[in-house]
Amino acid sequence: MPAATRTYWLTSPCRIRRKDESLVIERDAAPSVHIPVTDVRDIVACAETDLNTSVVSLLNRHRISVHLLSYYGDYAGSLLTADTSTSGETVLAQAALARDPQASMAIARSIVDACAFNVRRVIDRKLLARPYTVLQESIREATTPLHLMGAEGTFRRSAWEVIDTKLPDWLQLNGRSRRPPKNAGNAFISYVNGIIYARVLTAVRLTPLHSGIAFLHSSMERQRHSLVLDLAEMFKPLFAERLLLRMASRNQLKHHHFDRDTNQAMLSDTGRKLVVQTVRDELAVTVTHRALGRPVAYDELLYLDALALTRHCLEGTLYKPFRIWW
């Protein structure tokens, strides 16, 4: 990932305009801001955003993707640049793996295992020890991706129950609910998951992988980047669950960060800003990578994982999905 460029996060309703071969962000509430195009890696628009053809052509020229999150905070879509690092060879190799039931099941198994490992690591090692061994057993017995997802669902349900014991009453999940999220905790998780999905998509676009050919999730679904769903799986606990627990225990999340109705909840404007800031800072946190022997930002981990999968497709190097190692 280029080092000198940044992700821009739009947290209030705005219009992106092109001016002097650069970008201007116009907002109702605040004065407009010029942002230098050369400084932008991609844009995550968390609020309503207007843009037009001339902006899109400028973004395209600078290879900047825009990710859009909907009103409720789930992923709404992306404006991807036309130009990608394409490689037919990689896509063919990836498709061959996906077609081969044994090979794709192996990848799907390791993804589910790594995801559960991370969930357990983040939430509670002791309480989830038993569900985790049960899951590992069912992973071994599973014969189709559907079985795997079922097993993962069971594990996740126990995980949600454990996480509730660590949250204050008003943030408890009471089971996962989406579209729209039923309560504050779910709204938070949905929102962060949406952001992570967008980040993984950016990472995948930097590799020659095809974002529609997946191993665990169904490749057949239209208009979805199934591969991104696969890869995002391991990273969701690192951000969503982990940040929820942390922010709850530090009392950073307050009632006014959420707009709540009887049966649905979403982040308020201030809440959205706070969450975006937290995720942005978290993405910049570095850990020492054992194989690379240098500090690596969380954001780069997504890219490294996508690269590892590329190598698995092309060279047959065993793909080990991301596990929290620290």
Q: Which is nearer to another protein, 33 or 318 (CB)?
A: 33
Q: Is residue 219 within 8 Å of residue 213, measured between CB atoms?
A: yes
State the chain's maximal CA–CA distance in angstroms: 60
Instruction: Tell me how many residues contact another protein (CB under 8 A).
Output: 28
Six-digit token string for 115: 């995801």
The stretch near another protein (CB under 8 A) out of 1-9, 194-202, 229-237, 308-316 is 1-9
Six-digit token string for 94: 């990836």
Q: Which is nearer to another protein, 260 or 273 (CB)?
A: 273
Which phi and psi (to 5°) does residue 21 adopt?
Answer: 60, 25
The stretch near another protein (CB under 8 A) out of 12-20, 69-77, 79-87, 112-120 is 12-20
Q: Which is nearer to another protein, 92 or 284 (CB)?
A: 284
Q: Is 302 helix (H, G, I), strand (E, B) or coil?
A: helix
Among 10, 196, 248, 324, binds another protein (CB under 8 A): 10
**Least distance (Å) from another protein to the CB of residue 2?**
7
Which phi and psi (to 5°) does residue 210 adopt?
Answer: -90, 125
Q: What would the x/- binding string for another protein be over residues 277 to 296, using CB under 8 A?
A: x--x----------------
CA-CA-CA-CA torsion for 51, 55, 56, 58, nearest 10 degrees? -160
The stretch near another protein (CB under 8 A) out of 10-18, 153-161, 190-198, 200-208 is 10-18
- 138 touching another protein, by CB under 8 A: no
Q: Is 295 helix (H, G, I), strand (E, B) or coil?
A: strand
Residues 216-275 that bind another protein (CB under 8 A): 273
Measure CA of the first residue to CA of the last residue in the chain; give whole Å. 23
Q: Which is nearer to another protein, 4 or 220 (CB)?
A: 4
**Least distance (Å) from another protein to the CB of residue 297?**
13
Residue 259, CA atoms < 13 Å, CB-side half-sphere: 10
Q: What is the DSSP code (8-state) at residue 183?
A: S
**Least distance (Å) from another protein to the CB of residue 19?**
8
> CA 81 from chain center: how many Å?
19
Q: Which is nearer to another protein, 38 or 251 (CB)?
A: 38
Could you list the beta-strand ranges (E) of 20-101.
Answer: 22-27, 33-35, 40-45, 49-50, 65-69, 75-79
Q: Which of 5, 1, 13 is nearest to 69 (CA)?
A: 13
Q: What would the x/- binding string for another protein be over residues 15 to 54, using CB under 8 A?
A: -----xxx--x-x--x--xxxxxxx---------------
Q: Which is nearer to another protein, 20 or 141 (CB)?
A: 20
Residues that bind another protein (CB under 8 A): 2-4, 6-12, 14, 20-22, 25, 27, 30, 33-39, 273, 276-277, 280
